[in-house]
Structure 1
């Protein structure tokens, strides 16, 4: 009787009221509710409702190289077609310009365009879901001349503001961090801040940046591998030692609003020593300690495919990591908690193996957008 009454009451809800309720749920719960009924599935999947509902991971943007040209691709985790042309031709009308993917943050993508030298380039921030973009003004020249800027990250939190920052790490030719150069969409200008860490900090070759909890993080080298964090004004700096698990190859990412680090042991030939992967999490935004969240074995995955894998990404909504095969032709989702394989994505050959997680953003305007 009670169940029948509940079903009858649910039928009194209008679509607008259901959307209002669903919009307050996290993306992972929202997608589970597609299974409630056909009308709910259609309501949640309707493109007209995307602006009102939270989004989850759609897939990964990545690049490949052939005949000296860069090609842009999208690997969908659901099998659905990309919502946009991943090459975004409107960002580079000059066909001789090379445009590369740099970073992704909460629906926005940072691109670098260049047709000359490595140091002569422009930055563009784009929302591919809406087609809006903004080209950043020229950066200040690094000083002195023996310094340059290679690693850059995008800082954007639509829950806080529609404005964004681009943070570029300045380093010497010996890869010592010296400063950050910061662009603010609020001011429309760049500023420079000296490195606020007393010790000499080396820059790790991967150059992957992650923005979470108001801080931009990158992997650096002090006495050991460590996370280096800086706020969007370049005033607050901190370091967090990474776990010592023998020789390691890991990646950082933002998941469920927290900073995560996933690692697998490797030997000198970059082969997995054992099949255990560990997932670590920063306790809270003010903490300087990573705690172990999950460990998982990928014995079955390796024995089934006969391939080795390395961790390249972390799901933004759950404890799933993504691994790329040593041959570079497949990307595998692996649920750390349940220890089982999810989707297996086929990749283009000769890919650069930099995978940017993409979560569509429909609800926020792009601050300072000058194109659409």
Structure 2
């Protein structure tokens, strides 16, 4: 009797999973079964991002699920793969009449290029976004932070969603000074799963003998607003920031001529200062601030052309710096043009340093320097609109960022 009931329950369960037939107006209709939520999530996270964005219109349940932070995090972990081709983002900006300290609405020409790498020889343009782009791009977990005039903008290239944060209401902007500057850094707290934008506003005199700085934090969430953070060490940031394991790092300069590295804990919202290597100048023209092996590092290539030597300084646990010196291979010296200055534009997931010519020359290229193998390779970039090369404008700026740790994020931005 018990065995018979179990067989009937089993058949009933199978029938429920397979669906059921319903008869209405003399016709048979097949009613599809409901998909369990956990199974639905496993199916959806394996779909392309474009499909997910379209499927938000299927139902309120699907829309809420796809827009949820839990689902976007699961999706980021699923799509992040070393086999995915990286995306190189290049922002071209011409400010016509714009001071970085002013909130302005003057016309400006901007272009954001997305260049996906499918081979080791070249990048081919697959996306252009006119009117989109800005200065000092920072890439973190599939998001791009850039600033236009005095405002910070966060852009998700996968969802095409852009959010402009309100301007910081700092008293520094109203003061008379030789130089006023604003810097934005993007951080992520892995414990509370929060994104925060850090703003440093700096007032400095000639030759930086006197520096005044204010610091503000914006939590990227509904109802977010700027909150001032007290830090008693005035400084001027000199490099774009890195976010590593919930801590934002950036190089800076103080009025005492000390080269430092500033750290900001995203969760506790506390600043700290670390002495930079004394041999390195934070204002050095040929110095880059990069992530190497999951740690902040200083890449000094000041003597690369004269002695073929580069130095890598890695910040170890406890605040000590370890130094590694590398000599370029003689057979690769021709890749470094003595007449063209190069700037460090970050690193790849494999620890390759990206070096890019500072002038916008045609044909354009970037150099990948593999520090572990001490090997260089040149990659030509195709797809930059030709009219940008003909611009002879001192206000022309372009910025690079490589996104290859999580090339796609479906995170829905809310402020």
Q: TM-score, normalised by structure 2?
A: 0.60
The answer (yes or no) to whether the contact 2:231–2:271 under 8 Å persists in 1 is no
Deviations 1:192-218 (A, max 9, x none): 123332xx53443xx412222322222
The answer (yes or no) to whether the contact 2:113–2:125 under 8 Å persists in 1 is no
C-alpha change, 1:230 and 1:304, in structure 2 (3 Å) is closer
The answer (yes or no) to whether the contact 1:254–1:260 under 8 Å persists in 2 is yes
Residue of 329, 332, 337 corresponding to 2:367: 332
In the aligned structure 2, how far is the partner of 1:301 from the partner of 1:62?
26
C-alpha change, 1:182 and 1:75, in structure 2 (3 Å) is same
In the aligned structure 2, how far is the partner of 1:337 from the partner of 1:124?
35
The answer (yes or no) to whether the contact 1:272–1:309 under 8 Å persists in 2 is no
1:71 lines up with 2:118 in the alignment:
no
C-alpha change, 1:345 and 1:296, in structure 2 (3 Å) is farther
In the aligned structure 2, how far is the partner of 1:108 from the partner of 1:236?
23
The answer (yes or no) to whether the contact 1:209–1:218 under 8 Å persists in 2 is yes
Shift of 1:164: 0.8
Written as runs of structure 1 = structure 2, the 5 A alignment for 1:152-191 is 152-156=184-188, 159-174=190-205, 176-186=211-221, 188-191=224-227
Secondary structure of residue in 2 paired with 1:355: strand
* Structure exhibiting the larger radius of gyration computed from Cα positions: 2
Shift of 1:299: 4.1
Residue of 296, 300, 303 corresponding to 1:259: 296
C-alpha change, 1:66 and 1:245, in structure 2 (3 Å) is closer
C-alpha change, 1:160 and 1:53, in structure 2 (3 Å) is farther
Secondary structure of residue in 2 paired with 1:317: coil
The answer (yes or no) to whether the contact 1:177–1:195 under 8 Å persists in 2 is no
In the aligned structure 1, how far is the partner of 2:162 from the partner of 2:111?
20
Written as runs of structure 1 = structure 2, the 5 A alignment for 1:23-172 is 52-55=78-81, 58-64=86-92, 69-79=109-119, 81=124, 85-87=127-129, 99-100=134-135, 102-113=137-148, 118-119=149-150, 122-143=151-172, 145-146=174-175, 148-156=180-188, 159-172=190-203
The answer (yes or no) to whether the contact 1:297–1:339 under 8 Å persists in 2 is yes
The answer (yes or no) to whether the contact 1:281–1:292 under 8 Å persists in 2 is yes
Shift of 1:144: 7.0
In the aligned structure 2, how far is the partner of 1:136 from the partner of 1:150?
14
Secondary structure of residue in 2 paired with 1:354: strand
C-alpha change, 1:194 and 1:305, in structure 2 (3 Å) is closer
Corresponding residue for residue 273 of structure 2: 238
The number of residues matched between the two structures is 298
Structure 2: stretches of 5+ with no match in the other structure: 1-41, 46-74, 97-108
Structure 1: stretches of 5+ with no match in the other structure: 1-19, 24-48, 92-97
Corresponding residue for residue 307 of structure 2: 274
Shift of 1:156: 2.6
